[in-house]
């Protein structure tokens, strides 16, 4: 599986903080090339504080020489990816898959695209909550919420067919991860808002819905990975403590 997805705890925390505010008003570029958004900033002697919300409590502080520039951001467009619970059923499709069948589909797609199955499961949960007939207000469809044009480009004939949707969505995510050099936050932002928006802002767009989406998927992915590692640790400990193993 991809082992170099560029995600840090600080990055996720920043996304969550910004998502909690109504909008990010400023974009700050650091001299190391990193770009981040904040509500507002203040300067005090040789320090600059970037406030994540409208209040004064939640901020990140940098030395003035670390800041390359600050620019205002436009108001984000209204969110358009809220899903409706039902759509006309397709022959052979089911709104609620058997968890085992879905897990098998995700595992197969993960193997084909070198993607962690828990990442795919986290994306499915955020996109459709496992509803194979989910449709967003923008027209995205199925488990991984593919837009009709994107689905057609990926060779998906029916987005309400779970196996086709998972195959197409996994291919699309793989393409985005390659495009953004395995930067998971950027790839997820492009999955939600489109690559054009990510390229326009040279990073995660200043859209409340997109930032909340990225934070939500990464949080769920981290939760699943931690649970998996904990389960594996307990399994190893159980084997080590078994009488047969101890007698050797």
145 and 34 in a common domain = no
Residues 6+ apart with CB under 8 A from 143: 97, 102, 124, 127, 128, 130, 131, 132, 134, 162, 165, 166, 169
155: CB partners within 8 A, 6+ apart: 168
Distance CA 234, CA 240 (A): 10
Could you tell me the residue range of the domain that residue 49 belongs to? 25-72
The secondary structure element, H or E, covering residue 67 is: strand 67-72
Task: Judge whether 11 lies within some domain.
Answer: no
Residues with catalytic function:
127
Question: Number of structural domains, the chain?
Answer: 2
| 131 and 48 fall within a common domain | no
68, 87: one domain = no
Give the mean model confidence (pLDDT) for residues 159-184.
96
Indicate the pLDDT class of residue 235, thresholds 50, 70 and 90.
confident
Mean pLDDT, residues 24-43 taken together: 80
- 48 phi, psi to nearest 5 deg: -125, 130
146, 214: one domain: yes
Looking at the structure, tell me whether residues 140 and 55 fall in a common domain. no
Residues 102 and 193 in one domain: yes
Overall average pLDDT of the 170-188 stretch: 95
Residue 173's pLDDT is 97
Q: Which two tokens stand for residue 141?
A: 């469809």
- On whether both 121 and 229 belong to a single domain, the answer is yes
């Amino acid at each position: 599986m991809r082992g170099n997805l560029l995600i840090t705890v600080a990055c996720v925390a920043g996304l969550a903080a910004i998502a909690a505010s109504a909008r990010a008003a400023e974009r700050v570029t650091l001299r190391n090339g990193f770009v981040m958004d904040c509500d507002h900033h203040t300067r005090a002697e040789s320090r600059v504080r970037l406030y994540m919300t409208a209040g004064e409590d939640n901020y990140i502080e940098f030395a003035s020489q670390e800041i390359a520039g600050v620019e205002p951001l436009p108001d984000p467009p209204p969110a358009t990816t809220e899903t409706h619970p039902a759509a006309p059923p397709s022959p052979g499709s089911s709104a609620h898959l058997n968890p085992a069948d879905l897990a098998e589909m995700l595992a197969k797609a993960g193997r084909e695209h070198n993607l962690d199955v828990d990442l795919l499961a986290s994306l499915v949960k955020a996109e459709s909550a496992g509803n194979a007939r989910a449709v967003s207000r923008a027209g995205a469809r199925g488990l991984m919420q593919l837009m009709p044009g994107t689905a057609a480009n990926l060779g998906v004939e029916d987005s309400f067919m779970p196996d086709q949707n998972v195959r197409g969505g996994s291919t699309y995510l793989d393409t985005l991860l390659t495009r953004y050099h395995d930067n998971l936050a950027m790839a997820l932002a492009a999955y939600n808002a489109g690559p054009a928006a990510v390229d326009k802002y040279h990073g995660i767009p200043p859209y409340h819905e997109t930032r909340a989406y990225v934070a939500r998927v990464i949080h769920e992915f981290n939760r699943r990975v931690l649970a998996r590692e904990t389960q594996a640790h307990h399994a190893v400990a159980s084997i080590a403590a078994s009488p047969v193993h101890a007698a050797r």
